Protein backbone atom coordinates (compact mmCIF):
# COMPACT_ATOMS: atom_id res chain seq x y z
CA UNK A 1 0.00 0.00 0.00
CA UNK A 2 1.40 3.39 -1.00
CA UNK A 3 0.77 6.63 0.85
CA UNK A 4 1.33 10.08 -0.59
CA UNK A 5 2.43 12.61 2.06
CA UNK A 6 1.30 15.94 0.58
CA UNK A 7 0.99 18.61 3.29
CA UNK A 8 1.40 22.35 3.44
CA UNK A 9 3.59 23.86 6.16
CA UNK A 10 2.43 23.74 9.78
CA UNK A 11 3.03 27.46 10.30
CA UNK A 12 5.44 28.22 13.11
CA UNK A 13 6.41 24.60 13.76
CA UNK A 14 7.09 22.57 10.61
CA UNK A 15 7.96 23.42 7.03
CA UNK A 16 6.05 21.53 4.36
CA UNK A 17 9.13 19.34 3.82
CA UNK A 18 9.39 18.56 7.53
CA UNK A 19 5.68 17.79 7.74
CA UNK A 20 5.87 15.48 4.72
CA UNK A 21 8.83 13.65 6.25
CA UNK A 22 6.96 13.22 9.56
CA UNK A 23 3.87 11.87 7.80
CA UNK A 24 5.99 9.47 5.76
CA UNK A 25 7.75 8.25 8.91
CA UNK A 26 4.39 7.45 10.51
CA UNK A 27 3.27 5.61 7.40
CA UNK A 28 6.44 3.53 7.32
CA UNK A 29 6.08 2.64 11.01
CA UNK A 30 2.61 1.34 10.13
CA UNK A 31 3.97 -0.78 7.29
CA UNK A 32 3.13 1.48 4.34
CA UNK A 33 5.40 2.67 1.57
CA UNK A 34 5.41 6.47 1.46
CA UNK A 35 6.22 9.17 -1.09
CA UNK A 36 6.91 12.69 0.17
CA UNK A 37 5.41 15.56 -1.85
CA UNK A 38 5.44 18.82 0.16
CA UNK A 39 3.07 21.44 -1.26
CA UNK A 40 2.35 25.16 -1.12
CA UNK A 41 -0.30 27.53 -2.44
CA UNK A 42 1.72 30.60 -3.38
CA UNK A 43 2.26 31.75 0.19
CA UNK A 44 5.23 31.39 2.48
CA UNK A 45 7.20 28.21 1.87
CA UNK A 46 6.55 28.07 -1.87
CA UNK A 47 10.20 28.60 -2.78
CA UNK A 48 11.30 25.83 -0.44
CA UNK A 49 8.78 23.41 -1.99
CA UNK A 50 10.01 24.27 -5.48
CA UNK A 51 13.65 23.56 -4.70
CA UNK A 52 14.90 26.36 -2.48
CA UNK A 53 16.98 29.40 -3.27
CA UNK A 54 20.25 29.32 -5.22
CA UNK A 55 20.65 33.09 -5.49
CA UNK A 56 20.74 35.81 -2.83
CA UNK A 57 20.17 39.53 -3.40
CA UNK A 58 20.17 42.35 -0.84
CA UNK A 59 16.93 44.31 -1.26
CA UNK A 60 14.74 46.77 0.62
CA UNK A 61 12.94 45.03 3.47
CA UNK A 62 9.33 45.64 4.48
CA UNK A 63 10.17 48.58 6.75
CA UNK A 64 13.07 49.91 4.69
CA UNK A 65 15.94 47.95 6.20
CA UNK A 66 18.21 45.87 3.93
CA UNK A 67 17.30 42.20 3.65
CA UNK A 68 19.31 39.40 2.01
CA UNK A 69 16.55 37.61 0.11
CA UNK A 70 16.97 34.19 -1.46
CA UNK A 71 15.43 33.38 -4.85
CA UNK A 72 15.93 30.71 -7.49
CA UNK A 73 17.09 30.74 -11.09
CA UNK A 74 16.50 27.40 -12.81
CA UNK A 75 18.38 25.93 -15.75
CA UNK A 76 15.48 26.58 -18.11
CA UNK A 77 15.66 30.30 -17.36
CA UNK A 78 12.73 30.43 -14.91
CA UNK A 79 13.23 32.69 -11.90
CA UNK A 80 11.25 31.76 -8.78
CA UNK A 81 10.71 34.56 -6.26
CA UNK A 82 8.87 34.37 -2.93
CA UNK A 83 7.62 37.81 -1.92
CA UNK A 84 7.77 36.95 1.77
CA UNK A 85 11.56 36.60 1.49
CA UNK A 86 11.74 40.32 0.66
CA UNK A 87 8.79 41.91 2.46
CA UNK A 88 7.35 39.18 4.68
CA UNK A 89 5.35 39.97 7.79
CA UNK A 90 7.80 37.89 9.82
CA UNK A 91 10.65 40.16 8.63
CA UNK A 92 8.72 43.11 10.06
CA UNK A 93 8.47 41.42 13.46
CA UNK A 94 4.96 40.06 12.98
CA UNK A 95 1.80 42.13 13.36
CA UNK A 96 3.13 43.60 16.63
CA UNK A 97 6.30 44.94 15.00
CA UNK A 98 4.80 45.96 11.67
CA UNK A 99 4.02 49.51 10.56
CA UNK A 100 1.08 48.88 8.20
CA UNK A 101 1.12 52.39 6.69
CA UNK A 102 4.86 52.37 5.99
CA UNK A 103 5.40 48.73 4.95
CA UNK A 104 6.52 48.45 1.33
CA UNK A 105 6.73 45.80 -1.37
CA UNK A 106 9.72 47.50 -2.99
CA UNK A 107 12.05 44.57 -2.29
CA UNK A 108 9.94 42.32 -4.49
CA UNK A 109 10.41 44.66 -7.43
CA UNK A 110 14.14 44.73 -6.73
CA UNK A 111 14.23 40.92 -6.85
CA UNK A 112 12.38 40.96 -10.18
CA UNK A 113 14.95 43.47 -11.48
CA UNK A 114 17.78 41.24 -10.23
CA UNK A 115 16.29 38.23 -11.99
CA UNK A 116 16.05 40.14 -15.27
CA UNK A 117 19.65 41.33 -14.87
CA UNK A 118 20.82 37.74 -14.36
CA UNK A 119 19.17 36.56 -17.55
CA UNK A 120 15.82 35.14 -16.43
CA UNK A 121 13.60 34.32 -19.39
CA UNK A 122 10.42 34.14 -17.31
CA UNK A 123 9.61 35.01 -13.71
CA UNK A 124 7.20 33.49 -11.19
CA UNK A 125 6.44 35.44 -8.00
CA UNK A 126 4.68 33.70 -5.09
CA UNK A 127 3.05 36.58 -3.26
CA UNK A 128 1.60 35.43 0.08
CA UNK A 129 2.66 36.37 3.60
CA UNK A 130 3.78 39.98 3.14
CA UNK A 131 3.74 42.90 5.59
CA UNK A 132 2.70 45.53 3.06
CA UNK A 133 -0.68 46.76 1.85
CA UNK A 134 0.67 49.18 -0.72
CA UNK A 135 -1.08 47.83 -3.79
CA UNK A 136 2.27 46.86 -5.25
CA UNK A 137 3.34 50.51 -5.62
CA UNK A 138 6.74 49.85 -4.05
CA UNK A 139 7.39 46.84 -6.24
CA UNK A 140 6.28 48.42 -9.51
CA UNK A 141 8.53 51.44 -8.88
CA UNK A 142 11.55 49.12 -8.76
CA UNK A 143 10.65 46.88 -11.71
CA UNK A 144 12.37 47.62 -15.04
CA UNK A 145 10.04 49.29 -17.55
CA UNK A 146 9.12 47.84 -19.87
CA UNK A 147 9.39 44.35 -18.38
CA UNK A 148 10.54 42.25 -21.34
CA UNK A 149 10.03 38.79 -19.82
CA UNK A 150 6.75 37.01 -18.95
CA UNK A 151 5.75 37.52 -15.31
CA UNK A 152 3.35 35.15 -13.52
CA UNK A 153 1.98 35.85 -10.05
CA UNK A 154 1.11 32.80 -7.94
CA UNK A 155 -1.78 33.90 -5.71
CA UNK A 156 -2.72 32.14 -2.47
CA UNK A 157 -6.17 33.78 -2.24
CA UNK A 158 -8.94 34.83 -4.65
CA UNK A 159 -9.44 38.20 -2.93
CA UNK A 160 -10.28 41.33 -4.90
CA UNK A 161 -8.06 44.40 -4.80
CA UNK A 162 -9.80 46.40 -2.06
CA UNK A 163 -10.05 43.26 0.08
CA UNK A 164 -6.32 43.74 0.65
CA UNK A 165 -7.22 46.50 3.12
CA UNK A 166 -10.59 45.43 4.46
CA UNK A 167 -9.90 41.72 4.95
CA UNK A 168 -6.16 41.27 5.31
CA UNK A 169 -4.64 44.51 6.67
CA UNK A 170 -5.93 43.82 10.21
CA UNK A 171 -3.95 40.57 10.15
CA UNK A 172 -0.86 42.71 9.54
CA UNK A 173 -1.49 44.90 12.57
CA UNK A 174 -3.61 47.66 11.01
CA UNK A 175 -6.09 49.45 13.26
CA UNK A 176 -9.60 50.28 11.92
CA UNK A 177 -8.42 53.83 11.21
CA UNK A 178 -5.36 52.54 9.33
CA UNK A 179 -7.52 50.11 7.35
CA UNK A 180 -9.58 53.07 6.12
CA UNK A 181 -6.44 54.96 5.10
CA UNK A 182 -5.07 51.92 3.27
CA UNK A 183 -8.38 51.36 1.51
CA UNK A 184 -8.43 54.97 0.30
CA UNK A 185 -4.87 54.61 -0.99
CA UNK A 186 -5.75 51.45 -2.90
CA UNK A 187 -8.91 53.01 -4.33
CA UNK A 188 -6.80 55.75 -5.96
CA UNK A 189 -4.70 53.23 -7.90
CA UNK A 190 -5.61 52.31 -11.47
CA UNK A 191 -5.77 48.54 -11.04
CA UNK A 192 -8.22 46.07 -12.54
CA UNK A 193 -10.33 44.37 -9.86
CA UNK A 194 -9.40 40.81 -10.84
CA UNK A 195 -9.85 37.69 -8.72
CA UNK A 196 -6.60 37.35 -6.80
CA UNK A 197 -5.62 41.01 -7.28
CA UNK A 198 -5.92 41.59 -3.52
CA UNK A 199 -3.29 38.96 -2.72
CA UNK A 200 -0.29 40.17 -0.71
CA UNK A 201 -1.68 43.57 0.13
CA UNK A 202 -2.63 44.22 -3.49
CA UNK A 203 0.86 43.36 -4.72
CA UNK A 204 -0.71 40.90 -7.16
CA UNK A 205 -2.98 43.58 -8.57
CA UNK A 206 -0.17 46.11 -8.85
CA UNK A 207 2.01 43.70 -10.80
CA UNK A 208 -0.97 42.72 -12.97
CA UNK A 209 -1.32 46.40 -13.87
CA UNK A 210 2.13 46.31 -15.51
CA UNK A 211 1.40 43.14 -17.44
CA UNK A 212 1.76 40.22 -15.03
CA UNK A 213 -0.56 37.21 -15.30
CA UNK A 214 -2.34 36.09 -12.12
CA UNK A 215 -2.53 32.31 -11.57
CA UNK A 216 -3.72 30.15 -8.66
CA UNK A 217 -0.63 29.38 -6.60
CA UNK A 218 -1.69 25.85 -5.74
CA UNK A 219 -2.23 24.92 -9.37
CA UNK A 220 1.17 26.25 -10.34
CA UNK A 221 2.95 24.33 -7.57
CA UNK A 222 0.95 21.15 -8.13
CA UNK A 223 1.81 21.18 -11.81
CA UNK A 224 5.50 21.70 -11.22
CA UNK A 225 5.84 18.92 -8.62
CA UNK A 226 3.62 16.40 -10.45
CA UNK A 227 0.74 16.01 -7.98
CA UNK A 228 -1.59 14.38 -10.52
CA UNK A 229 0.97 11.72 -11.42
CA UNK A 230 1.72 10.98 -7.77
CA UNK A 231 -1.97 10.70 -6.91
CA UNK A 232 -2.44 8.16 -9.70
CA UNK A 233 0.08 5.90 -7.95
CA UNK A 234 -1.30 6.33 -4.40
CA UNK A 235 -3.75 4.30 -2.33
CA UNK A 236 -4.10 7.06 0.24
CA UNK A 237 -3.06 10.72 0.39
CA UNK A 238 -2.37 12.46 3.70
CA UNK A 239 -2.36 16.26 3.70
CA UNK A 240 -2.43 18.86 6.45
CA UNK A 241 -1.54 22.32 7.73
CA UNK A 242 -1.03 24.13 11.00
CA UNK A 243 -4.65 25.27 11.45
CA UNK A 244 -7.53 23.73 9.57
CA UNK A 245 -10.37 26.26 9.53
CA UNK A 246 -13.01 27.72 7.22
CA UNK A 247 -10.36 29.10 4.83
CA UNK A 248 -8.84 25.66 4.31
CA UNK A 249 -11.57 24.83 1.82
CA UNK A 250 -11.17 28.03 -0.20
CA UNK A 251 -8.11 27.52 -2.37
CA UNK A 252 -5.64 26.46 0.31
CA UNK A 253 -3.53 23.31 0.03
CA UNK A 254 -5.75 21.08 2.19
CA UNK A 255 -8.95 21.86 0.34
CA UNK A 256 -7.36 21.61 -3.08
CA UNK A 257 -5.68 18.27 -2.28
CA UNK A 258 -9.04 16.91 -1.16
CA UNK A 259 -10.58 18.06 -4.45
CA UNK A 260 -7.80 16.48 -6.51
CA UNK A 261 -7.93 13.25 -4.50
CA UNK A 262 -11.69 12.94 -4.95
CA UNK A 263 -11.37 13.50 -8.68
CA UNK A 264 -8.68 10.80 -8.84
CA UNK A 265 -10.68 8.36 -6.72
CA UNK A 266 -8.05 8.31 -3.98
CA UNK A 267 -8.98 8.29 -0.30
CA UNK A 268 -7.65 11.22 1.73
CA UNK A 269 -6.79 11.91 5.36
CA UNK A 270 -6.27 15.39 6.83
CA UNK A 271 -3.94 16.21 9.71
CA UNK A 272 -3.58 19.53 11.51
CA UNK A 273 -1.77 21.25 14.30
CA UNK A 274 -5.20 22.34 15.48
CA UNK A 275 -8.74 22.44 14.10
CA UNK A 276 -10.97 25.51 14.41
CA UNK A 277 -14.54 24.93 15.67
CA UNK A 278 -16.02 26.29 12.42
CA UNK A 279 -13.90 24.08 10.15
CA UNK A 280 -15.91 22.34 7.43
CA UNK A 281 -13.13 19.76 7.07
CA UNK A 282 -12.63 16.84 9.41
CA UNK A 283 -9.02 16.57 10.51
CA UNK A 284 -6.87 14.74 13.04
CA UNK A 285 -5.47 17.33 15.44
CA UNK A 286 -2.10 17.26 17.17
CA UNK A 287 -3.43 19.52 19.93
CA UNK A 288 -6.46 17.30 20.53
CA UNK A 289 -4.33 14.15 20.57
CA UNK A 290 -1.24 15.29 22.50
CA UNK A 291 -2.04 18.63 24.10
CA UNK A 292 -0.99 22.13 23.13
CA UNK A 293 2.43 22.11 24.79
CA UNK A 294 3.64 18.83 23.27
CA UNK A 295 2.16 19.66 19.87
CA UNK A 296 4.28 22.83 19.80
CA UNK A 297 7.45 21.42 21.35
CA UNK A 298 7.53 18.07 19.48
CA UNK A 299 5.45 18.63 16.33
CA UNK A 300 7.29 16.20 14.05
CA UNK A 301 7.14 13.27 16.46
CA UNK A 302 3.51 14.03 17.30
CA UNK A 303 2.60 14.09 13.60
CA UNK A 304 4.44 10.83 13.02
CA UNK A 305 2.63 9.13 15.91
CA UNK A 306 -0.72 10.55 14.81
CA UNK A 307 -0.35 9.13 11.30
CA UNK A 308 0.95 5.78 12.58
CA UNK A 309 -2.04 5.50 14.93
CA UNK A 310 -4.54 6.49 12.23
CA UNK A 311 -3.19 3.89 9.82
CA UNK A 312 -3.16 1.22 12.50
CA UNK A 313 -6.82 1.97 13.21
CA UNK A 314 -7.63 1.67 9.52
CA UNK A 315 -5.82 -1.67 9.35
CA UNK A 316 -7.53 -3.10 12.41
CA UNK A 317 -10.96 -1.76 11.58
CA UNK A 318 -13.50 -0.35 14.05
Residue range 33-52, pLDDT digits in tens: 999 999 999 888 999 999 99
Contact 282, 271 (CB under 8 A): no
pLDDT per residue over 132-186, tens digit each?
A: 999 999 999 999 888 889 999 999 888 899 999 999 999 999 999 999 999 999 9
> Residue 16: which CATH number?
3.40.50.10350
Per-residue pLDDT band for 316 (boundaries 50, 70, 90) equals low
Per-residue pLDDT band for 318 (boundaries 50, 70, 90) equals very low
Write out the residue range of the structural domain in which residue 125 sits. Answer: 46-218
pLDDT per residue over 177-206, tens digit each?
A: 999 999 999 999 989 889 999 999 999 999
The backbone torsions φ and ψ at residue 234, rounded to the nearest 5 degrees and listed phi first, read -100, 150
Same domain flag for 160 and 294: no
Q: What is the pLDDT of residue 315?
A: 65
Q: What is the pLDDT of residue 156?
A: 85
Same domain flag for 50 and 148: yes
Same domain flag for 79 and 188: yes
Same domain flag for 308 and 167: no
Same domain flag for 208 and 303: no
Same domain flag for 105 and 185: yes
Say if residue 307's pLDDT is above 50: yes
Same domain flag for 201 and 72: yes
Same domain flag for 31 and 52: no
- What's the domain count of the chain? 2
Same domain flag for 69 and 187: yes
Q: Which of 193, 218, 243 is the last residue of a domain?
A: 218
The mean of the pLDDT values for the chain is: 95
Query: Does the reported pTM lie above 0.85?
Result: yes
Say if residue 317's pLDDT is above 60: no
Per-residue pLDDT band for 56 (boundaries 50, 70, 90) equals very high
Whether omega for the bond prior to residue 146 falls within 30 degrees of 0, making it cis, is yes
Alpha carbon distances (Å) from 161 to 28, 129, 234: 45, 16, 39
pLDDT per residue over 233-274, tens digit each?
A: 999 999 999 999 988 887 789 999 999 999 999 999 999 999
Cα dihedral across residues 45, 310, 257, 234: positive or negative? positive
Q: Which of 218, 246, 281 is the last residue of a domain?
A: 218
Same domain flag for 88 and 18: no
Same domain flag for 121 and 213: yes
Alpha carbon distances (Å) from 41 to 65, 242, 250: 27, 14, 11
Same domain flag for 33 and 73: no
Amino acid sequence: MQLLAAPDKFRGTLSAREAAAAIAAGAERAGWAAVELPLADGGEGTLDVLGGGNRRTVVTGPLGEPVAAEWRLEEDGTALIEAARACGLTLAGGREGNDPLRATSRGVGELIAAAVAEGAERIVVAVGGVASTDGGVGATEAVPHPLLVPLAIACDVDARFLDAADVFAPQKGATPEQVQILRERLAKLVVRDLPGSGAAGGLAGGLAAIGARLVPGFDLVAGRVGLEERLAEADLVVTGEGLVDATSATGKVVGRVLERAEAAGVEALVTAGDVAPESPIDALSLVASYGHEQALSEPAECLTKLVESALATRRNGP
